[in-house]
C-alpha cells in the first residue's frame, strides 16, 4: 500500500467555520501526517445559497452570492503516542445579497468583511500514531478514528441593524468524530458532528435568536489515481437547527442533503491543492439550497 502523502490530508486538521463560510470537511482531511509539521492553507469558495453568512438557516426569497476566502494555519504535534493538531481558520467574505421578500428588504445589498475566527484542537484515538517525518516515509496507512473540538468566536463584522451580516455575533461549539479505512487504492471516510449555537441577543435590532443543535453526517469515497492525484465522491446529510426568536419557535427544522465531488493534487512534496464542488440534493422547505465551488492551495513544511 502506498504511504500517505503530506498533501493528501492533515490528520486531525479538518475544515469548519461559520455556516456559509465553510460547511463540511474535504476528503482526506483527516489522514495521518508527521508530527511537528506546519500547514498553511488558502481557500477560495464561490458560494450561492439561500442561507445567510451569519446563521445556518435559510430565508425565503434570499439569494446570497459570496466569495469566501479562508486562511487556515495548523501545526501537528505528539500527544502521548497519538498525533494531534491545533489550527486557526480566519475567514473573509465578499457578499452580494438579494432579498425579494418586501417584508425583509427590497433591492440589493453588498457587503464585505471579516468572518468569525475558529480554533480547533484535534487528536487521533487509534490508527494515527505520532510518527516523525523519517518514520512517516515507511509508515503504512491504516483504519483510524479521530476527534476534534471546534470553537468559533464572535469576532467577525456584525451590525445589529442589518439583516445580513458576515459575523454571527454568537459562539459556536462543534465536537466531531472522523473515521476512515483504506481498501487498496481507495478510502472510505465517515465524519459525524453537531454544531451547538450560543444565543445572539442583538439579532436584527435587540431581538434574541436561539438555535437548536444541527447534527451532520458526511461521507467521502476517494480513489488514488497515482502519487500526485486522487478523486472523491462526497455526500453530507444534516438535520436539526430549529430556531426561536424572542422565545417564539419558528418551526424551521432543517433537513439538508448535499452531493459533490473533489480532486486533490500535489505539485511537489510540499505544495498541492484541491478543487471541489458540492450542491444541495432535493432541497426541502426550510432547508439550505447551496452550491459551492472550492479551490484550495496548501504548503507543508
What pLDDT score was predicted for residue 53? 67
pTM for the full predicted model: 0.88
Listing from the earlier edge strand, what are the strands of the sheet with 243-245?
A: 200-203, 207-211, 243-245, 248-249
6 SS3 class: helix
CATH number of the domain at 41, please. 2.40.128.130
What residues contact residue 8 under an 8 Å CB cut-off, 6+ apart? 28, 31, 230, 264, 266
Look at residue 37 and tell me if it is in a domain. Answer: yes
E-strand stretches of 60-164: 62-79, 82-99, 108-114, 118-126, 144-152
Q: How many CB atoms lie within 10 A of CB 273?
A: 18
Q: List the Cα angle 239/241/242 in 5-degree steps.
A: 115
> What's the pLDDT at 187?
96
164 with 53: CB under 8 angstroms?
yes
* Residue 49 in domain: yes
Whether residue 279 is contained in a domain is answered as yes
- What is the rounded radius of gyration, in angstroms, for the C-alpha atoms of the chain? 19
Report the domain count for the chain: 1
Q: Does 81 map to a domain?
A: yes
Looking at residue 285, what is its pLDDT? 66
Helix (H) or strand (E) holding 227: none
Rounded Cα distance, 169 and 164, in Å: 12
Provide the residue range defining the domain that includes 154: 6-300
**How many residues are there in the chain?**
301
Burial 184-206 (b: 16+ CB within 10 A, else e): eeebebebebebebbebebbeee
Predicted local confidence at residue 147, as pLDDT? 97
Report helix, strand or coil for 245: strand
Q: Is residue 1, in this structure, part of any structural domain at all?
A: no
Determine the 3-state secondary structure of 8 from DSSP: helix
Q: Has residue 185 been placed in a domain?
A: yes
Cα distance between residue 53 and residue 267, in whole Å:
33
**Residue 143 covered by a domain:** yes
Name the nearest CA neighbour of 49 among 291, 259, 242, 278: 291
**Residue 280 domain-assigned (yes or no):** yes
Taking the chain (301 residues) in runs of 10, the rounded mean pLDDT of each run is 41 37 74 95 91 67 86 96 96 84 50 92 95 92 96 93 85 97 95 96 90 95 95 95 91 90 95 95 75 95 95
Cα–Cα distance measured from residue 301 to residue 296, given in angstroms and rounded to the nearest whole number? 17
Burial class (CB in 10 A: 0-12, 13-18, 19+), 89: buried
CA count, 13 A, side-chain hemisphere, 171: 5
Amino acid at each position: 500500500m502506498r504511504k500517505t502523502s503530506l498533501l493528501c490530508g492533515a490528520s486531525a486538521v479538518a475544515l469548519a467555520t461559520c455556516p456559509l463560510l465553510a460547511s463540511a470537511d474535504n476528503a482526506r482531511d483527516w489522514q495521518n501526517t508527521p508530527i511537528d509539521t506546519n500547514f498553511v492553507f488558502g481557500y477560495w469558495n464561490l458560494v450561492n445559497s439561500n442561507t445567510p453568512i451569519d446563521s445556518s438557516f435559510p430565508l425565503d426569497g434570499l439569494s446570497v452570492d459570496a466569495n469566501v476566502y479562508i486562511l487556515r494555519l495548523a501545526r501537528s504535534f505528539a500527544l502521548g503516542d497519538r498525533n494531534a493538531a491545533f489550527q486557526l481558520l480566519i475567514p473573509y467574505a465578499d457578499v452580494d445579497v438579494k432579498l425579494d421578500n418586501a417584508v425583509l428588504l427590497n433591492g440589493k445589498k453588498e457587503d464585505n468583511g471579516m468572518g468569525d475566527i475558529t480554533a480547533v484542537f484535534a487528536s487521533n484515538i487509534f490508527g494515527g500514531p505520532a510518527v516523525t517525518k523519517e518514520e512517516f516515509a515507511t509508515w503504512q496507512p491504516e483504519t483510524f478514528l479521530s476527534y476534534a473540538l471546534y470553537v468559533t468566536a464572535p469576532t467577525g463584522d456584525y451590525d445589529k441593524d442589518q439583516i445580513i451580516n458576515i459575523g454571527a455575533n454568537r459562539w459556536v461549539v462543534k465536537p466531531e468524530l472522523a473515521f476512515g479505512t483504506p481498501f487498496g487504492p481507495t478510502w472510505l471516510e465517515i465524519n459525524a458532528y453537531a454544531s451547538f449555537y450560543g444565543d445572539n441577543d442583538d439579532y436584527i435590532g435587540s431581538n434574541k435568536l436561539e438555535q437548536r443543535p444541527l447534527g451532520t453526517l458526511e461521507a467521502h469515497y476517494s480513489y488514488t489515481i497515482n502519487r500526485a492525484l486522487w478523486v472523491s465522491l462526497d455526500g453530507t446529510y444534516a438535520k436539526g437547527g430549529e430556531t426561536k426568536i424572542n422565545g417564539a419557535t419558528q418551526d424551521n427544522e432543517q433537513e439538508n442533503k448535499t452531493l459533490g465531488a473533489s480532486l486533490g493534487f500535489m505539485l511537489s512534496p510540499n505544495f498541492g491543492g484541491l478543487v471541489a464542488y458540492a450542491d444541495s440534493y432535493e432541497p426541502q422547505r426550510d432547508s439550505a439550497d447551496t452550491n459551492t465551488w472550492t479551490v484550495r492551495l496548501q504548503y507543508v513544511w
